Structure 1
Amino acid sequence: MSDKDDRPALDLDKAAQQGFVAFFRSLPAKDATTLRLFARKASSHGGGDFYSAHGDDALLIAGEFFKTSSVLKHLGPASNPLPGCTLSYANFQQLLADALLNRGWKIQIWHSTGRSANQWQLAREASPGNLQQVEHNLPDSAWLPTAAAPAPDPVLVAILIQDDEQPASTSASSQAAASTTRHVGVALANASDKTLALAEIHDTDQLAHLEALLIQLGVKEVLVPTGVTDARLSTLLDAATVVTTRYSVDAFKSPPAATALHRLLSTATPPAAADALIATHPLAGRALGAVLDFLDLATDRHAAHQFSLTAHHVGGAMRLDQHAVAALNLVGDGARKSTHLYGLLNKCVTGAGSRTLQSWIRQPLVDRAAIEARLGIVEALVDDAAVRDAVRDWLTQAPDVGRLGMKLRKDRATLADVAALYRLVARLPDLRPVLVDDPSSTALADRYAALLDQIEVDLAPFSEKVTETLDLDEWGDHNDVRIRASLDPELEELHAQMAAAREEIEPEASRVAGILGLELGKVVKVDQSAIHGHHLRVSLTHSSLIRQKKKDLIELATLKSGVLFTTPALRAVSNKLTDLAGQYDTLQAAMVKEFMAAMQAYLPTFTTLNDTLSELDVLGAFAHVSVHAPTPYVRPTLNDEGRVHLPNLRHPCIEMQDLVQFIPNDATLGRGESAFQIITGPNMGGKSTYARSVGLAALMTQLGCFIPTDPGATLPIFDAIQCRIGAGDQQFRGVSTFMAEMLETASILRSATPQSLVIMDELGRGTSTYDGFGLAYAIAHYLATVVKPAATLFATHFHELTTLAENVQGVVNRHVVAHVDEEGGQGITLLYKVADGAATHSYGIHVAKLAGFAPRVVALAQAKADELERAASHGGSGGKKRAREEEDGAVELARRIAAEVRDVDLSTPDAREKVERIRKRYAAAVNGCPRLAALVGGAIVGGAIVGGGEV
């Protein structure tokens, strides 16, 4: 946002200033992320209505948006002035978009009551999940999604949580993986798309399914009852960076009244169906009452009979938690497109396609038929470049049907918007042959032929109504859509006068071209704009000619496109046309309102059309990316055996970076054989990249996209991808690196299933070596023995962890290859290849040498490491034997404890007492077994927390 010389001035006399300052300082305190804006009426500045901000809000806007303090003006006494700044309407639009969509702030807009210059009332409020009252103020550019600023669909969620002792599943594997303790009721609302949904989740104590739902839907704002505290929920919402709004607990006490709910619902949701949903989702129904109250839908006349109500199926998509989104870099920060998956795949040619891709990335499919259908369409577009290019060229000329439909639904659409939809419908017959007549595949025809045929049939009356009502010739000739003049005698008379006035433009333009000695149409051009009306334009190279004729020509503006100018005669014609157009608009207003109401009947079909075209756009983008990758992507196959085989796998984003020659690796994980892989090797050797590459290949497959491997790739369908990679301090929440790591890992242990893909990297940092190794070992052992056969990639710097492969079936060792050259100066060469077996030793000191550490530092580090290694192995083979015996004894004792805990019926009231008795009985044995204490102290074993007495 930039400060302009014509920025509106706040013209207040001394008394008015003092009165406003007194009023402002009497307002109650507010949250720091809520901005108060005051709507001002135009006065001397003559630029239309504008807005002002004051106090801390003005300081924030000056620093964050204008980037200068020069915009600040002060009101009131010099001894205690009130800082303030003004915003033009364009500045106001930009501020709304940035504050609500990018920063997650809230907005209050205050209007004068009119009774006094300094009497104001709160007129409108907006928040990231509730844009309704300011939607018409957002600039058109705000609706285009980017990686830094996602699509602004205001998804609002209300959440109610109750304790639930009943497990979500009675299967042994599910009970072992997660103890279900929370009953979550969720109500979702998208006020732009007019959708409501209910979901009830029997979740883990870590709320893993709720977290996945928030991520999948791109939730902007969450309502929770005031006064209700839930530490895990607060942690989850902080990590997901959604706006949390505390709302009256009374609003959550009951579902909405049936009459009020029925009034909101469209024909898509019959009242009986809505009542049944509320009855089967009682907790979510109470949350829905809070949503409707917060959005004030009961009193919104535009909301009547507009909303649908459905049940949201929580298990309908792959679960992704916030750590997986960050670790796999799915959406990035918008800095460099090719560094994150959304930027890499977003070769969509429409805004609707980009929004759909963003939604898909957060909701990968788990239905095999749906995945195969997408892959089939992508394959058809990959194989036939002519069809692919024809489809994308056709889509390039398509308007944003979703946004035009939203404007039509909210009574904000213009006749030009309807005409744009008409033009799109007229072009639909050109798309069908491209899709249906593809000789290389039937996938496109199977998916789109009948669908497009039905859309054309449903929209045929729409096209007839438009041609009967709108003057499309006028649109083509003058870019001005109006009701046909033949429908009303008065309109015909005005139309004739406007036509006569337009005939005066060309003779005047020809006269001016003759004066300038320039050719009309090629050099001197007739233009029209909302600001200057009808005028003339020449290129900048001829600007001197205009200035030489100052007596005859009136210069209007100098732009990059040229110099805009007019003449007294042309200005008179332009003013006359503007006046006639105003009279025409006034006369046609009633007809326009009736016509727009009739157009809303076609909104369901346009929604279907929008979904169809955006899906086709995304799949076309997948094909485009697959073909134009450095090495073309291939179609993976799906299997039911839980087998992962990815020959010559590459990381899709890294291989696109400049000056990078990516070294591919095979990735093979077989259920019961090699599903759990411990990956060792030097830092910077490629362990994390290899693991991330597998995760991205799985996710891209379930999006329906080809993947960066060689032919022969096959994967199962994963229900979740769970990552613990590179945790850092979260100081704003008072969470250290180690604690963040433990919280993330605990969530994975409680929610991972045998169908999950688990990626763990460098566990155990931030604490002592022995504690870190003990935790890493216990976690790996649990995943490999209890959650098995979950596919797991466990990258670690604890070389000793590789012994797990000797004791647990299905665990294998792999390592990233490095060449150690003790005499070569550099010490180590990282080869970025993954090979079978464990790394021979730790490479930390070699990497330090590669990083350029001083030789004396490297030498001292090596000497100290040798000393510690000798101390650890004191006693030779006897010491190693004792260590092995201690470990075997620890594991056996842990199994006995776990077996007794597993036999406890957790549904009985005395379950905790029974577990406590078990803990006390084995306390002495645990304390007498340091190896067990190191391995399981506070860690999860067999479904219990040993040492804490907690189930």
Structure 2
Amino acid sequence: MFKPATTIRFFNRGEFYTVHGADALFTAKEWFKTTAFIKTYSTGDDKLESLIVNKGNFEAYIRDLLLVKHYRVEVYTGGAKTNNWILEFKGSPGNLSQFEDLLFESVDQIEGSAVIAVKIGTDPNDKQIGAKVAGIALFDCMEQKMSLCEITDDEYFSNTEALIVQLDAKECLLVSDNSPENDILKKVIERSGILVTMRKRSDFNTDNLVQDLNRLIKFKEGQQQNAMTLPQMNHTIAIGAMSAIIKYLELTSNQENFGQFKLENIENQCLMHIDCAALKALSIIPPPHVTAANKHHSVFGLLDKCRTSHGRRLLMQWVRQPLRDMNAINERHEIVETLYQDTEVRQELYDEHLRKIPDFQSLAKKLQRNKATMQDCYRVYQGISKLPSLIKTLKSCDDGNPHHTLQSAFISTLEEQYQDMAKFQEMMESTLDMSLVDRGEFLIRPEFDEELQEMRAKMENLESKMRSQLSKVASALNLQENKTIKLESNSQFGHFLRISLKDAKMIQSNNEYELLDTHKAGVRFRNHRLTKLNEDYSDIYQQYSDHQKGIVSEVIGIASGYCNTLQYLSSLIASLDVLVSFAVVAVSAPTPYVRPKMLPYGSGSMKLKQARHPCVEMQDNISYIPNDVNFQQDSATLYLITGPNMGGKSTYIRSIGVVALLAHVGSFVPCEEAEIPILDAILARVGANDSQIKGMSTFMVEMVETSSIIRRATSNSLVIIDELGRGTSTYEGCGIACAIVEFLANDVKSFTLFATHFHELTLLAEKIKTIHNLHVSAIMAEDRLTHLYQIKRGACDQSFGIHVAKIAKFPSKVVEVAEHKLEELEDFLVLKDTPMSDEDRTKILKEGGEVIDEFLNQCKELRTKNLDKKEFEKEFNILKQAVLDKKNPYIEALLKKTS
């Protein structure tokens, strides 16, 4: 049966798993880093590779496949003898439900696992030629919501791409057909790093959708319990996409999903436009397999000082969704400034309060799905108990703030939610035996039931006898009770005795003692009597746990009624966590960040003084050289940046983009001063290999992305373009670059930074008043090129290509030939406007060179004669006139160029 290469199939053999064929080879190379363990079996004329994966490796490998590589996983069972294998579990980046216990049992879920579906249609009311309507549906299991929208798009799906980037989905469902339109859409989505899953067209039909939604939607109080009455149903194309998601995830097959999800619109009008090219050009999110050593190489890694997992999830959403709402941005800046200025409160929040609060969102999800335990309820109880001290700290900070931003944004709402959880706290204190929690035992208080009381009495009696054994063993070994020998318990061994490693020799070779294990904390062991007491205790403990199940189920059922409050608390804590992270990053940077002054949309001005690239300055052994930029709508909207390679052009233009992004996210910025208007988009075309689309040449990729910029940019956009036009001939590339520069400057009037090696473009500054030249400075001394990394006004006055070749240790012969060819090409360029054949041009160049050589030799002879000033000038003018009388076109062109 055909399967995509991005699907790995496992076969459950009981004590281990196997993978076969291409999956075995992939697993061996990617996971085990060796093919030595592969066995090959003959099946007739064919051979089949097979690889065994033990349970430990299976669990770790599943995490890598689903969360890092974004592959699909299928687990088959039941066919070891009959060869009749049945699909038992399946998962994908957007569908982790069947693997959640395995993936997140011991670690919090840092990233979301949203899945989207896209269906393309046409709007009968839209007469724009080539316009398509993309119906987009999103299912976010973590947020418990279903969202949809419809957007008009072009043939390259530029708007769809930007929205998908902002939604941060891990998987996308598309209609399985071979249309060119669908093929382009598939490539656009894959370019965004999202796994594409093709589904049959019938999955996008809406035949039973209303019935399914009526089961799944959590209707508001007083709302009519009928999905057909919801305004979202008017999005007929997007609704088809939602139908595909419901079928793919089999949501209606699990009653735990009934009445759990909100249905809402995707509101992207208040967000800045960020497409995949800009996402990569500005390094907004980290690439896969990022280590702690280079986490600062991305904007997300730089800003991630979050102390909670729900804070990190929200931060990932914020950096993908820069705001356009000035009030919302200023509120974030106000809170960051308050925390920035109050060192004591900032440190208390960061070091003490936030790290102690659990992931309320994931706990609420477990409660809703009836998968929670008493330990989960206790984690909620613990988290809620931390809120009063958190609120007290926030109040102490807000008292000195005249705007009382923290009060309106957090304090009052946290107090309300804490009051809402008061009954939950009382329930936990009255039902859970808090005296056993420190031992990892989460038992109902025995007062609830006579049988529980009896069993609890037996357990206490056994505990007393075990303490007596502690005393006896301590006396026998001549150790201090509860000091050098202790009675402890855990879920693995139950009750046991522990001594230090240096005392281990006392129990070695002694048959009275059973050694359990040895590690750096000491030696764990039991004597025969303690072993029997522990077995009896375990039996009664199990009976106690079984008997209390009804009460536990009732407690968890009551606790599930607090899910809405927990989810609201989660969003508050996550927001506070991210803003505290912004403040910590701002104050701990090599040079502290400043609060940007946000200007209204359409202000036509953007000024950054001493701007730095926040990721670059965090690298080791870097002393960053800051630079300015000053955009004014009527006088300076486009800057052409020239200069040598490695001189800092790309870093400079990216730094401006990153600063603008940080400001719109709500962070402070790495500048001395910053005035930034509300932008509608950051559009970028940086690097020849940054955004490869399969099936397109590098130059075609460049043209497609630049075309998107031209069509999307407005006078309120920031455009960043680096080295455009190098994928074709020099003259063609220069012509295209020149046309784009003129269009952006004259027609669009966007804030544009255009780095280029085409020095001919610098002449546009003389033609268009809003274009200005900048260059990165460098100096040559003793054939050594030194970069200064400073941006200065004016065009670069020379090219350093051959000097860079020398630094790169090119053979001297190659450098000499390059210099000679450069002279020839420059001579040819002098005559480029003169219509003639290459043969005639070569002849004229040769004759002109001879005339110039003769003229220089005659001038040298003049210096040997003892002539006064007047005589010298007379003789020189005679020689000069003789050159002019030759009427050589090459000499005439040179004189014209220098005049």
Category of TM-score, reference length = shorter chain: 0.7 to 0.9
TM-score, structure 2 as length reference: 0.87
> How far 1:305 moved relative to its partner?
0.6
Pairing 1:600–2:566 present: no
Corresponding letter in the other structure for 1:301: Q
Q: Equivalent residue for 2:843? A: none
Q: Equivalent residue for 2:138? A: 188
Pairing 1:401–2:367 present: no
- 3-state SS of 2:131 partner: strand
CA distance in 2, matches of 1:615, 1:875: 62
Q: Match for 1:343 among 282, 301, 318? A: 301
Moved more, 598-607 or 858-867: 858-867
Q: Match for 2:809 among 820, 835, 852? A: 852
The answer to whether the 8 Å contact 2:142/2:361 transfers is: no
> How far 1:29 moved relative to its partner?
2.8
The answer to whether the 8 Å contact 1:132/1:192 transfers is: no
Pairing 1:432–2:391 present: yes
Q: Match for 2:636 among 653, 656, 674? A: 674
The answer to whether the 8 Å contact 1:676/1:810 transfers is: yes
Moved more, 94-103 or 29-38: 29-38
Q: Match for 2:430 among 468, 475, 478? A: 468
Pairing 1:528–2:484 present: no
Summarize the Cα distance change of 1:78–1:255 in structure 2 as closer, same or farther, 3 Å threshold: closer
Summarize the Cα distance change of 1:838–1:395 in structure 2 as closer, same or farther, 3 Å threshold: same
Q: Match for 1:223 among 167, 173, 176? A: 173
> How far 1:76 moved relative to its partner?
7.7
CA distance in 1, matches of 2:463, 2:39: 47
Q: Once the two structures are superposed, what CA deviation does each residue of 1:530-580 show, in whole Å capped at 9, x if it has no partner?
A: 222212223333333332x43122111222333222222222222122111
Summarize the Cα distance change of 1:533–1:73 in structure 2 as closer, same or farther, 3 Å threshold: farther
CA distance in 2, matches of 1:550, 1:324: 70
Q: Once the two structures are superposed, what CA deviation does each residue of 1:828-866 show, in whole Å capped at 9, x if it has no partner?
A: 321100011211132222322333333333332222122
Moved more, 663-672 or 373-382: 663-672
> How far 1:402 moved relative to its partner?
2.1
TM-score, structure 1 as length reference: 0.83
The answer to whether the 8 Å contact 1:93/1:139 transfers is: no
CA distance in 2, matches of 1:581, 1:85: 41
CA distance in 1, matches of 2:47, 2:176: 36
Q: Equivalent residue for 1:665? A: 627
The answer to whether the 8 Å contact 1:182/1:203 transfers is: yes
CA distance in 1, matches of 2:126, 2:45: 66
The answer to whether the 8 Å contact 1:526/1:537 transfers is: yes
CA RMSD of aligned residues (A): 2.4
Q: Match for 1:819 among 779, 789, 793? A: 779
CA distance in 2, matches of 1:194, 1:157: 14
> How far 1:78 moved relative to its partner?
11
Summarize the Cα distance change of 1:462–1:239 in structure 2 as closer, same or farther, 3 Å threshold: same
The answer to whether the 8 Å contact 2:213/2:227 transfers is: no
Q: Once the two structures are superposed, what CA deviation does each residue of 1:585-609 show, in whole Å capped at 9, x if it has no partner?
A: 1111122222212211111110111
> How far 1:660 moved relative to its partner?
0.9
The answer to whether the 8 Å contact 1:695/1:721 transfers is: yes
> How far 1:283 moved relative to its partner?
0.7
Summarize the Cα distance change of 1:140–1:342 in structure 2 as closer, same or farther, 3 Å threshold: farther
The answer to whether the 8 Å contact 1:255/1:286 transfers is: no
Q: Once the two structures are superposed, what CA deviation does each residue of 1:607-646 show, in whole Å capped at 9, x if it has no partner?
A: 1111111111111111111111111111001112132111
The answer to whether the 8 Å contact 2:72/2:92 transfers is: yes
Summarize the alignment of residues 100-139 of structure 1 with structure 2, pairs less than 5 Å apart: 100-112=66-78, 117-139=82-104
> How far 1:409 moved relative to its partner?
2.1
Q: Once the two structures are superposed, what CA deviation does each residue of 1:379-430 show, in whole Å capped at 9, x if it has no partner?
A: 0111000110111211121122222222222222110110111121122111
Summarize the alignment of residues 260-659 of structure 1 with structure 2, pairs less than 5 Å apart: 260-268=212-220, 270=223, 271=225, 275-333=229-287, 334-335=290-291, 336-392=294-350, 393-438=352-397, 439-441=399-401, 442-476=404-438, 478-547=439-508, 549-640=509-600, 641-659=603-621
Q: Once the two structures are superposed, what CA deviation does each residue of 1:74-107 show, in whole Å capped at 9, x if it has no partner?
A: 6788997754344443332212211111112111
Structure of larger gyration radius: 2
Summarize the Cα distance change of 1:200–1:264 in structure 2 as closer, same or farther, 3 Å threshold: same
Corresponding letter in the other structure for 1:390: E
Summarize the Cα distance change of 1:741–1:550 in structure 2 as closer, same or farther, 3 Å threshold: farther
The answer to whether the 8 Å contact 2:684/2:721 transfers is: yes
> How far 1:124 moved relative to its partner?
2.2
* Aligned length, in residue pairs: 822
The answer to whether the 8 Å contact 1:255/1:288 transfers is: no
The answer to whether the 8 Å contact 2:188/2:693 transfers is: no
The answer to whether the 8 Å contact 1:538/1:564 transfers is: yes
CA distance in 1, matches of 2:42, 2:246: 42
The answer to whether the 8 Å contact 2:75/2:90 transfers is: yes
Moved more, 263-272 or 358-367: 263-272
Q: Once the two structures are superposed, what CA deviation does each residue of 1:199-220 show, in whole Å capped at 9, x if it has no partner?
A: 1111233222211121112111
> How far 1:191 moved relative to its partner?
2.5
Summarize the alignment of residues 171-186 of structure 1 with structure 2, pairs less than 5 Å apart: 181-186=131-136
Moved more, 598-607 or 729-738: 729-738
- 3-state SS of 1:713 partner: strand
Corresponding letter in the other structure for 2:143: D
The answer to whether the 8 Å contact 1:53/1:84 transfers is: yes
Q: Match for 1:38 among 11, 23, 27? A: 11
Q: Match for 1:236 among 179, 183, 188? A: 188
Q: Equivalent residue for 1:884? A: none
- 3-state SS of 1:314 partner: coil
Corresponding letter in the other structure for 2:617: E
> How far 1:377 moved relative to its partner?
0.6
The answer to whether the 8 Å contact 1:349/1:395 transfers is: yes
- 3-state SS of 1:407 partner: helix
> How far 1:695 moved relative to its partner?
0.5
The answer to whether the 8 Å contact 1:198/1:284 transfers is: yes
Summarize the alignment of residues 890-909 of structure 1 with structure 2, pairs less than 5 Å apart: none
Q: Once the two structures are superposed, what CA deviation does each residue of 1:102-138 show, in whole Å capped at 9, x if it has no partner?
A: 1121111222179x64332112221111112222222
Moved beyond 6 Å, runs of 4+: 74-81, 165-168, 729-732, 875-879
Summarize the Cα distance change of 1:862–1:420 in structure 2 as closer, same or farther, 3 Å threshold: same
- 3-state SS of 1:619 partner: helix
Q: Once the two structures are superposed, what CA deviation does each residue of 1:891-913 show, in whole Å capped at 9, x if it has no partner?
A: xxxxxxxxxxxxxxxxxxxxxxx
Pairing 1:214–2:164 present: yes
> How far 1:799 moved relative to its partner?
0.6
Q: Once the two structures are superposed, what CA deviation does each residue of 1:325-380 show, in whole Å capped at 9, x if it has no partner?
A: 11111222313112222221111112221221111111111111111111111101
In the alignment, structure 1 segments of 5+ residues that lack a partner are: 1-27, 43-49, 146-150, 169-174, 880-951
The answer to whether the 8 Å contact 1:165/1:181 transfers is: no
CA distance in 2, matches of 1:864, 1:751: 42
Corresponding letter in the other structure for 1:262: N
Q: Once the two structures are superposed, what CA deviation does each residue of 1:471-497 show, in whole Å capped at 9, x if it has no partner?
A: 223324x32112222111111111111
CA distance in 2, matches of 1:274, 1:874: 74
Summarize the Cα distance change of 1:804–1:29 in structure 2 as closer, same or farther, 3 Å threshold: same
Corresponding letter in the other structure for 1:432: I
Moved more, 351-360 or 618-627: 351-360
In the alignment, structure 2 segments of 5+ residues that lack a partner are: 837-899
CA distance in 1, matches of 2:227, 2:666: 33
Moved more, 105-114 or 806-815: 105-114
Summarize the Cα distance change of 1:380–1:544 in structure 2 as closer, same or farther, 3 Å threshold: same
Pairing 1:67–2:33 present: yes
- 3-state SS of 2:624 partner: coil
Summarize the alignment of residues 3-42 of structure 1 with structure 2, pairs less than 5 Å apart: 28-41=1-14
Summarize the Cα distance change of 1:180–1:622 in structure 2 as closer, same or farther, 3 Å threshold: farther
